[in-house]
């Protein structure tokens, strides 16, 4: 390790220019008298990802044929033939928790029957039952991402960020007497305060890197053809003269990633502004028509945000209930919601399971990127907890028993990985979420949602 600074750089060091503020990743020069292997940037990072409509493997046929839940428990589980097979090469970072229920998403009164799609997302991270209303008296619970951000995100520039892939409609009611607020977000700052989710990668990029200067300066930069990095070149050159070779390389790689993501967003905007017919008619210019491209842009932004400690908490809503979106890359022509209503027909269940597998295939991309960032004695993946699941099990019957749930990453040592844990019948999903929260630092939390105890990993 070589550096030339007389004083260590603060961990929170920014490159600032007109309308741009770029946080630096962790550098050796930030702790010159300690090895980077001994330096941790902070708390475990958290990503909570929801996919709607459940899984084909949670239908009667799917359960009998292990289309989601693998054969074998402990470390002997077999992913072959399941929708989880894309995770095979990362199984040492995979913890499958099967057989948990999300009963708070069920109908509690006769007038709530049929409204599963319009309350489920609000339940996923709160594990609380939403009040049926189309008015302003919405009420559900505080989501776990916000509980964690309140505890561990307050010393970062952005305590948490909320991202989504599908459009939102926050005005009025959706269906069955439920406010669209329940359908549009999975993050709740309080039982009455749903947080809006960002769909446009440009908006997310600007929030992370374009918040410097005055409003006029930011507007001038946005109207310029320059890269965001062009506004901070002077500070980059100045700082690089003071850094050692390894830090210069690390900073160059980080800034090139920032630029590469910026270029990808610019390409999307140029393509969508060309006048050509779009697959997603009416979507913002910065939103890719491709699900794959959209998801990966957001995943790259999450890794950069963690690397620079801009935030430690993301919620990521991958779908919207009742969406009929088609995913051509899955090989299935049926729309998402229609495919989930498969009638337990074996062939149609298998087709829905292929869509589930396609969605799961996005996860190794994120894990690759997190694992490529060295941090402390391990990697960013070792220090990140990823929740992936659905508050619905069998979309065909709107069933919420035996729901899909995965935990990925090392979670700062809280998750051992390479495990399939089958919960006892009747176990609330809230028990597993409580177990994770306790493992990543909230060990004084005694209950969460409708938990009946703490699930052990």
Q: What integer pLDDT is reported at residue 37 of this predicted model?
A: 36
Instruction: Quote the CA–CA distance of 3 and 243 in Å, as a whole number.
Output: 5
Phi, psi of 6 (to 5 degrees): -75, -30
Query: Is residue 244's pLDDT more than 90?
Result: no
Q: What integer pLDDT is reported at residue 283 of this predicted model?
A: 93
Whether 30 contacts 15, CB under 8 Å = no
| DSSP state at residue 276 | P
SS3 percent helix, strand, coil of the chain, rounded to 5, is: 40, 15, 45
Segment 268-307, tens digit of pLDDT: 999 999 999 999 988 999 999 999 999 999 999 999 999 9
Measure CA 253 to chain center: 24
Q: What integer pLDDT is reported at residue 2 of this predicted model?
A: 47
Stated as kind and residue range, the H or E segment containing 97 is strand 94-101
Q: What integer pLDDT is reported at residue 225 of this predicted model?
A: 60
DSSP secondary structure string for all residues of 145-198:
HHHHHHHHSTTSSSS-EEEESS----SSEEETTEETHHHH-S-EEETTEEPP-B
Query: Is residue 223's pLDDT more than 70?
Result: no
Instruction: Quote the CA–CA distance of 341 and 41 in Å, as a whole number.
Output: 45
Query: Is residue 213's pLDDT more than 60?
Result: no
Instruction: Quote the CA–CA distance of 177 and 119 in Å, as a whole number.
Output: 10
Exposed, middle or buried, 165 (CB in 10 Å: 0-12/13-18/19+)? buried
Please report how many Cα atoms fall inside a 13 Å half-sphere around the Cα of residue 375, on the Cβ side.
27
Query: Is residue 66's pLDDT more than 90?
Result: yes
Per DSSP, the three-state class of 50 is strand
Q: Is the dihedral of CA 357, 360, 362, 365 positive or negative?
A: negative
The mean per-residue pLDDT over the stretch 18-36 comes to: 70
The beta strand positions in 40-84, using DSSP E, are 45-50
CB atoms within 10 A of CB 356: 27
Strands 161-164 and 313-317: parallel
* Domains (range + CATH), the chain: 1-39+208-286 (no CATH), 45-199+291-439 (3.40.720)
Query: Is residue 117's pLDDT more than 90?
Result: yes
Instruction: Quote the CA–CA distance of 144 and 185 in Å, as a whole number.
Output: 13
Q: Cα-Cα-Cα-Cα dihedral of 116, 119, 125, 126, to 10°?
A: -120
The mean per-residue pLDDT over the stretch 312-322 comes to: 97
**218 confidence band (pLDDT: 50, 70, 90):** low
Task: Pick the range with the lowest mean pLDDT from 167-171, 246-250, 282-286, 440-444.
Answer: 167-171
Strands 405-408 and 419-428: unpaired
Instruction: Quote the CA–CA distance of 173 and 368 in Å, as a whole number.
Output: 40
Q: Map tokens 């004083």 to a residue.
A: 7
The mean per-residue pLDDT over the stretch 167-181 comes to: 79
Strands 20-23 and 14-17: antiparallel
Query: Is residue 129's pLDDT more than 70?
Result: yes
Q: What integer pLDDT is reported at residue 170 of this predicted model?
A: 53
pTM of the model: 0.93
The mean per-residue pLDDT over the stretch 140-155 comes to: 97
Whether 379 contacts 373, CB under 8 Å = yes
Per DSSP, the three-state class of 120 is helix
Q: What integer pLDDT is reported at residue 23 of this predicted model?
A: 84
The mean per-residue pLDDT over the stretch 81-92 comes to: 98
**348 confidence band (pLDDT: 50, 70, 90):** very high
The beta strand positions in 281-413, using DSSP E, are 313-317, 374-375, 378-379, 384-389, 405-408
The mean per-residue pLDDT over the stretch 209-223 comes to: 62
Strands 94-101 and 419-428: parallel
Mean residue pLDDT of the chain comes to: 91
Q: Map tokens 């409708």 to a residue.
A: 450
């Amino acid at each position: 390790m070589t550096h030339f600074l007389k004083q260590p750089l603060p961990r929170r060091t920014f490159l600032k220019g007109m309308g741009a503020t770029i946080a630096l990743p962790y550098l050796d020069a930030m702790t010159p008298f300690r090895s980077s292997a001994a330096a941790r940037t902070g708390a475990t990072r958290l990503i909570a990802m929801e996919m709607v409509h459940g899984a084909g493997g949670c239908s009667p046929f799917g359960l009998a044929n292990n289309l989601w839940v693998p054969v074998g428990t402990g470390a002997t589980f077999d992913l072959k033939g399941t929708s989880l097979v894309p995770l095979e090469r990362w199984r040492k970072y995979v913890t499958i928790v099967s057989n948990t229920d999300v009963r708070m998403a069920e109908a509690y009164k006769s007038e709530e029957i049929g409204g599963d799609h319009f309350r489920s997302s609000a339940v996923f991270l709160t594990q609380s039952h939403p009040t049926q209303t189309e008015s302003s008296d919405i009420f559900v619970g505080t989501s776990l991402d916000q509980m964690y951000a309140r505890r561990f995100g307050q010393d970062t520039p952005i305590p948490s960020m909320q991202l989504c892939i599908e459009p939102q409609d926050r005005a009025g009611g959706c269906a069955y007497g439920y406010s669209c607020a329940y359908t549009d977000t999975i993050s709740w700052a309080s039982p009455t305060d749903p947080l809006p989710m960002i769909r446009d990668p440009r908006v997310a990029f600007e929030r992370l890197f374009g918040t410097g200067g005055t409003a006029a300066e930011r507007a001038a930069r946005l109207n310029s053809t320059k890269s965001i990095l062009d506004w901070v070149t002077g500070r980059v050159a100045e700082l690089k003269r003071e850094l050692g070779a390894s830090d210069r390389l690390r900073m160059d790689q980080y800034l090139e990633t920032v630029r590469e993501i910026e270029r990808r967003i610019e390409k999307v905007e140029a393509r969508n502004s060309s006048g050509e017919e779009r697959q997603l008619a009416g979507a913002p210019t910065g939103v890719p028509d491709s699900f794959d491209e959209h998801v990966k842009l957001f995943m790259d932004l999450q890794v950069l945000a963690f690397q620079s400690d801009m935030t430690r908490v993301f919620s990521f809503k991958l779908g919207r209930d009742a969406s009929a979106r088609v995913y051509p890359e899955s090989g299935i022509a049926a729309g998402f919601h229609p495919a989930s209503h498969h009638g337990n027909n074996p062939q149609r269940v298998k087709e829905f399971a292929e869509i589930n597998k396609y969605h799961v295939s996005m996860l190794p991309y994120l894990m690759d990127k997190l694992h490529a960032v060295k941090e402390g004695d391990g990697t960013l993946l070792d220090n990140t907890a990823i929740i992936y699941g659905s508050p619905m099990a069998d979309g065909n019957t709107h069933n919420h028993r035996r729901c899909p749930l995965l935990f990925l990453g090392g979670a700062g040592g809280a998750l051992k990985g390479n495990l399939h844990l089958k919960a006892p019948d009747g176990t609330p999903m809230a028990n597993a979420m409580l177990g994770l929260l306790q493992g990543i630092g909230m060990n004084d939390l005694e209950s969460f949602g409708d938990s009946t105890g703490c699930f052990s990993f």
